Amino acid sequence: MQKITILGSTGTIGLQTLDVIARHASLYEAYALAANSNVEVMLKQCLQFKPKIAVLLNEHSALNLREKLKVAGSQTTVLSGMKGLEQVSSDSAVDIVMAAIVGAAGLKPAMAAALAGKRILLANKETLVMAGSLFMQAVKAGGATLLPIDSEHNAIFQVMPSQQLSHLSDSGIRKILLTASGGPFRRYTQTQLQAVTPAMALKHPNWVMGAKITIDSATLMNKGLEVIEAHWLFNAKPEQIEVVVHSQSVIHSMVEYIDGSVLAQLGNPDMRTPIAYALAYPNRIESGVAPLNLFEIAKLEFEAPDTKRFPCLQLAYDALVLGGTAPAILNAVNEVAVESFLNNQIHFLSIPVLIEKALNSIQSESVSSLEQLQAVDAEARKFAQNHIAKQQKALMA
């Protein structure tokens, strides 16, 4: 019986992880569930899965959950705050940590899991985007096992040699091909993009995801963040990572070898596939995902990404090349910009403009500590918030 901590249990990945676990109750046990502030969903999860510990980052929400669980006669202990997240990530009783908290809040608990030597199922992009070098050092120091959950990186992991050496070329790999759906606006003109609303951007054609990641998919920033992730996960240089738009989302990514072979992982677009793969690795278990019907698909289509209409992808490459704290700046400003767009404070096309302005204005530094990255994150967010506030003030004048 493997005991699991799920960070972000009330989100899309968390819900799908619990779905897979429920199919294999004799193999996996939800030891701890953690989320931000969703009391009602967490209450239902605690009553169904009976975890030993539940954590809500928001302290008021944690108090509310504690009272409701007491009334229900639940034995689940409720913790709160960042210390609670770190505790259930490093708990000696835990075997596996699903790191699926969205945003910078997922960084510290993921680091705690790494240093404690856990099997980490990494679905939080920001951990590698913000602190790639520090996190990979922690994985090595703690003797942790790192398995990517993003469908693209999971696909790459599946078709890479089991014994990956220090450089891709040592394994006979020429490059990594990251597939991208292209989002809902890949056929939009620049004029049409100017009129995109949050409601339009939240309708992804293939995947069911949270709001933030869905907007990132629409801007192609999601793919940009995945480029940075792939750099750290597979020790790949920027020029060894190529993005390929594949609108059907059937091929989840590919690896090109020096002998001309291209190996791909295919499947229906459902995150339960990579979740099940990572849970059972190196074995395989039933995920609940329907088999892929190649006759229904009939054909597969590919095209190059348009970085002029979707500059966020190029900005991510630029930040990766700059190195140091540049990816953390990119990530922080993007989070603020996406939230502002969802709140109808800025336009869709203002997202990359704001990110580029920040990368040009805030000096990148060599990464030295988590505290430094948190300070850079705060500085970048403040820069973005101030810029948005000035824009709104000018419009109202």
Q: Are residues 84 and 168 in the same domain?
A: no
Q: Are residues 117 and 180 in the same domain?
A: no
pLDDT of residue 70: 96
Q: Are residues 215 and 260 in the same domain?
A: yes
In a domain, residue 305? The reply is no
How many Å apart are CA 134 and CA 392, to the nearest integer? Answer: 37
Closest CA relative to residue 149, chosen from 311, 1, 287, 39 = 287
Q: Are residues 171 and 126 in the same domain?
A: no
Q: Are residues 93 and 111 in the same domain?
A: yes
In a domain, residue 173? The reply is yes
Residue with tokens 């907007």: 215
- Interhelix angle 326-342/370-396, nearest 10 degrees: 40
pLDDT of residue 170: 84
pLDDT of residue 137: 96
CA angle 374, 377, 378 (to 5 degrees): 90
Helix (H, G, I), strand (E, B) or coil at 303: strand
Domain boundary pick from 84, 118, 149: 149
pLDDT of residue 193: 94
Q: Are residues 213 and 175 in the same domain?
A: yes
Other residues' Cβ atoms within 10 Å of the Cβ of residue 331: 26
Domain range for 184 is: 155-268+289-297
Q: Are residues 86 and 221 in the same domain?
A: no
pLDDT of residue 102: 80
Q: Are residues 258 and 392 in the same domain?
A: no
End-to-end CA, the chain? 63
Helix locations, the chain, DSSP H:
12-23, 39-49, 59-71, 81-90, 107-115, 125-142, 151-159, 190-193, 198-201, 211-219, 221-234, 272-280, 294-297, 312-322, 326-342, 350-361, 370-396
Q: Amino acid identity, residue 219?
A: T
Burial (0-12, 13-18, 19+ Cβ within 10 Å), 343:
exposed
- Residue 370 sits in a domain whose CATH number is 1.10.1740.10
Helix (H, G, I), strand (E, B) or coil at 40: helix
> pLDDT tens digits, the chain, 397 residues: what are they?
999 999 999 999 999 999 999 999 999 999 999 999 999 999 999 999 999 999 999 999 999 999 999 999 999 999 999 999 999 999 999 999 999 998 778 899 999 999 999 999 999 888 999 999 999 999 999 999 999 999 999 999 999 987 665 678 888 999 999 999 988 899 999 999 999 999 999 987 666 667 888 899 999 999 999 999 999 999 999 999 999 999 988 999 999 999 999 999 999 999 999 999 999 999 999 999 999 999 999 899 999 999 999 999 999 999 999 999 999 999 999 999 999 999 999 999 999 999 999 999 999 999 999 999 999 999 999 999 999 998 887 777 6
Are the CB atoms for 216 and 185 separated by under 8 Å? no
pLDDT in tens, 101-138: 987 788 999 999 999 999 999 998 889 999 999 999 99
pLDDT of residue 206: 63
In a domain, residue 232? The reply is yes
Domain boundary pick from 149, 168, 187: 149
Helix or strand run (H / E) with residue 168: none
Domain boundary pick from 149, 176, 196: 149
Closest CA relative to residue 78, chosen from 101, 59, 92 = 59
In a domain, residue 308? The reply is no
Q: What is the pTM of this model?
A: 0.91
In a domain, residue 274? The reply is no
